[in-house]
Chain A
Amino acid sequence: RKEVEQDPGPFNVPEGATVAFNCTYSNSASQSFFWYRQDCRKEPKLLMSVYSSGNEDGRFTAQLNRASQYISLLIRDSKLSDSATYLCVVNTMDSSYKLIFGSGTRLLVRP
């Protein structure tokens, strides 16, 4: 079983739609969680950290469910510019410096 699993997609949605991605992680002792965004042929960039209480940044909302070991990302009012791959990222406890990256969920927002 992969340490971090994501649906690869693609999710193909119209502009203005609300879309949600989930990600599951296997290590119940993980403490740090992030969503990164990666545009085609570019480097991953931090989108937002995920806190236990959930957090919101404009149109983006991240939630953490420790009991079920999943993280979610909700994007409201999708823009064309949201088209990208979204990577779910979790730290490991065997070596806390390391982050484990999911393979990503691809989002396509169409006009």
Chain B
Amino acid sequence: DVKVTQSSRYLVKRTGEKVFLECVQDMDHENMFWYRQDPGLGLRLIYFSYDVKMKEKGDIPEGYSVSREKKERFSLILESASTNQTSMYLCASSRPGGGYEQYFGPGTRLTVT
């Protein structure tokens, strides 16, 4: 079974703090993704990576950066957290290439106060 883990289930941070969200997958997947999910808006892609040290912007990259130093780990960084970044953050991974199903981690519910 594919296993995707995320460092925290719940996180509370203050406005302006730097926030790190970590994601690890154990299936040797090349592709990894970060989404946020908000009521009524569905899942929106923030960034994705198709190889170590490679990254591409998704649909809403503003205010975020990512790091992929190892194949199994993909980090999402909020450089200066703001209240509008309060959301559920979901990491996913998939096989190399395009169009394959993605496997999700349990999510991190981030609250920025």
Query: What CA separation (Å) do A45 and B97 show in the bound complex?
Result: 20
Contact with B along A22-40 (1 / 0, CB 8 A): 0000000001101000000
Q: Is A44 a contact of B99 with CB atoms below 8 Å?
A: no
Query: What CA separation (Å) do A80 and B56 show in the bound complex?
Result: 41
Size category, B interface: 20 to 34
Query: What CA separation (Å) do A46 and B56 show in the bound complex?
Result: 24
Q: Is B98 a contact of A97 with CB atoms below 8 Å?
A: yes
Q: Which residues of B contact A98 (CB under 8 A)?
A: 45, 48, 58, 98
Q: Is A43 a contact of B106 with CB atoms below 8 Å?
A: yes
Q: Does A96 contact B (CB under 8 A)?
A: yes
Within 8 Å by CB of A42, from B31, B42, B94, B106, lies: B106
Size category, A interface: 20 to 34
Binds B, one of A11-19, A66-74, A99-107: A99-107
Asked whether A101 and B42 contact (CB < 8 A) given A31-B99, A43-B105, A46-B103, the answer is yes
Q: Is B101 a contact of A49 with CB atoms below 8 Å?
A: yes
Q: Which B16-71 residues sit within 8 Å CB-CB of chain A?
A: 31, 35, 40-43, 45, 48, 50, 56, 58
Residues of B within 8 A of A (CB): 31, 35, 40-43, 45, 48, 50, 56, 58, 90, 94, 97-107
Residues of A within 8 A of B (CB): 31-32, 34, 42-46, 49, 87, 91, 95-99, 101-104
